[in-house]
Amino acid sequence: MNRNADMEGSSLWRNVRLATLREDLGPLGVIEKGAVAVRGGRIVYAGAAGDLPSDLSSADQVIDCEGRWMTPTLIDCHTHLVHGGNRAREFQLRLEGATYEEIARAGGGIVSTVQATNALSVEELVAAALPRLDALLLEGVSTVEVKSGYGLNIDAELKMLRAARQLERLRPVRILTSYLAAHATPPEYKGRNAHYIADVVLPGLSRAHAEGLVDAVDGFCEGIAFSPAEMARVFDGARALGLPVKLHAEQLSNLGGAKLAASYGALSADHLEYLDADGAAAMAKAGTVAVLLPGAFYTLRETQLPPVEALRAAQTRIAIATDCNPGTSPLTSLLLTMNMSATLSRLTLEECLAGVTREAARALGILQETGTLEAGKSADLAVWNIEAPAELIYRIGFNPLSERVFKGERIAR
Ligand code: DI6
Ligand code: FE
């Protein structure tokens, strides 16, 4: 087994059943009689207890996990966590028969959250996001991706990203940001997407990048948002700054967004209900992760399931996420997201658990840092009061987390 030594604060986790999510160890990477050694916030050993090197057998803290299961902490790789207001009124309209697109074309939808978001300061946006973040952390999440996209002008988009960065200073969490000014066209640019991209999206991206606010660039490729050609202009801007890209693609129709994303070597293409086999193959070839968002499928009462068989046939990597947003997925439970993915999209246990750990880390470009239990990675550990990993997906609205560890620090609930 591999390990590296770093003698700062140390802990040893014994009598623990490991779901390492290491692909080389089979489904879930299970090690029944496991041990995990931590030094200076990093995993230095994760493997069979019987193979634990003697120089790691003592530590400042030795924790008997009493046979509990341990996984990597969970990763929510697609959220709009920072936003103002809510869309309960639209939820009611949809109950009365209005469609998401009708509401959007009538000036509701994303644009209505833009008004609520732009009315708030950075501090107020942070205060509004913290309860949503805390709900995720309580379920064993340690990494969250947070998008802009409800500002739709340069200053407001930067304000959202500053709020996202602030969350990382207020909670034991890793935050990755995505610049999503290409989420919708503000009313003042209605019908003039090219001008919006030239006047706002690209200059705003340069400023956000210069301020260190951006980890990736995202967009909404859809008939009610931006075309593949328009997204290509945004992605060219990202490429010029050396930033990775991702894309909301094939959510309501097939415009070839996933193929476009793959052509830019995107980290991920997300939603994908209307993806076809060609798109799945292009993503697999490019290493672009398919991020499935069952919360939006469920909330919109979508009938077109994402093509899971085509993704499997193409060997496209699959992650899942909450897509936490006020309009189509007011969801702050990654455990429920796994249950929905299994029940609605028929993902397997392994696909669900890998989808919120290893593959979610891959979708954020941080698999070298977290997402599996193995030496050299951040000690992001989740201990669960379960008899079998299937209990993490099977239950609805129940949280079996026993303890979360982030960068080696034991987090009080
Ligand atoms: N697709 C979605 O489902 C969300 N954004 C996107 O591109 C919806 C965001 C909203 O309705 O507020
Ligand atoms: Fe989204």
pLDDT in tens, 116-150: 999 999 999 999 999 999 999 999 999 999 999 99
pLDDT tens-digit map of 164-174: 999 999 999 99
- At residue 413, the pLDDT reads 76
- Of 82, 83, 105, 110, the one to substitute when testing ligand 1's pocket (max ligand atoms within 8 A of C-beta) is 110
Using the atom order of ligand 1, give the atom closest to the CA of residue 222. Answer: 7
What average pLDDT score do residues 345-363 get?
98
Identity of the amino acid at 391: E
| Strand, helix or coil for residue 178 | strand
Using the atom order of ligand 1, give the atom closest to the CA of residue 327. Answer: 11
Using the atom order of ligand 1, give the atom closest to the CA of residue 180. Answer: 7
pLDDT tens-digit map of 287-327: 999 999 999 999 988 999 999 999 999 999 999 999 999 99
Contact 116, 89 (CB under 8 A): no
- Of 82, 118, 325, 331, the one to substitute when testing ligand 1's pocket (max ligand atoms within 8 A of C-beta) is 325
Hey, what are 274's tokens?
A: 């209307």
Per-residue pLDDT for 267 more than 90? yes
Residue nearest to atom 4 of ligand 1 (CA): 328
- How many percent of the chain have pLDDT more than 90? 92
| Strand, helix or coil for residue 253 | coil
Region of residue 365 (left: phi > 0; alpha: psi -120 to 50; beta: else) = left
- At residue 72, the pLDDT reads 98
- Residue-averaged pLDDT of the chain: 96
Measured in Å, residue 263 CA sits from the centre of ligand 2 at: 21
- At residue 2, the pLDDT reads 40
Per-residue pLDDT for 4 more than 50? no
pLDDT band at 8 (very low <50, low <70, confident <90, very high): low
Pocket lining for ligand 1, CB < 6 angstroms: 109-110, 113, 183, 220, 248, 251, 296, 325-328
Identity of the amino acid at 378: S
Per-residue pLDDT for 354 more than 60? yes
- Of 79, 80, 112, the one to substitute when testing ligand 1's pocket (max ligand atoms within 8 A of C-beta) is 80
Using the atom order of ligand 1, give the atom closest to the CA of residue 300. Answer: 3
Ligand nearest to the CA of 299: 1
Render 142-163 in DSSP notation, one character per residue: EEEEEE--S--SHHHHHHHHHH
Residue nearest to atom 3 of ligand 1 (CA): 328
What average pLDDT score do residues 240-265 get?
98
Residue nearest to atom 6 of ligand 1 (CA): 220
- How many percent of the chain have pLDDT more than 70? 98
Contact 128, 84 (CB under 8 A): yes
**Packed helices 110-118 and 154-170: angle between N→C axes, nearest 10 degrees:** 70
Residue nearest to atom 11 of ligand 1 (CA): 327
Report which of 182, 342, 178 is spatially closest to residue 257, judged by C-alpha positions: 182
- At residue 106, the pLDDT reads 84
Per-residue pLDDT for 6 more than 70? no
Using the atom order of ligand 1, give the atom closest to the CA of residue 150. Answer: 12
- Of 220, 221, 222, 250, the one to substitute when testing ligand 1's pocket (max ligand atoms within 8 A of C-beta) is 220
pLDDT band at 3 (very low <50, low <70, confident <90, very high): very low
Using the atom order of ligand 1, give the atom closest to the CA of residue 220. Answer: 7
pLDDT tens-digit map of 366-377: 999 999 999 999
Per-residue pLDDT for 102 more than 90? no
Measured in Å, residue 22 CA sits from the centre of ligand 1 at: 33
Residue-level length of the chain: 413
Global pTM reads 0.96
- At residue 141, the pLDDT reads 98
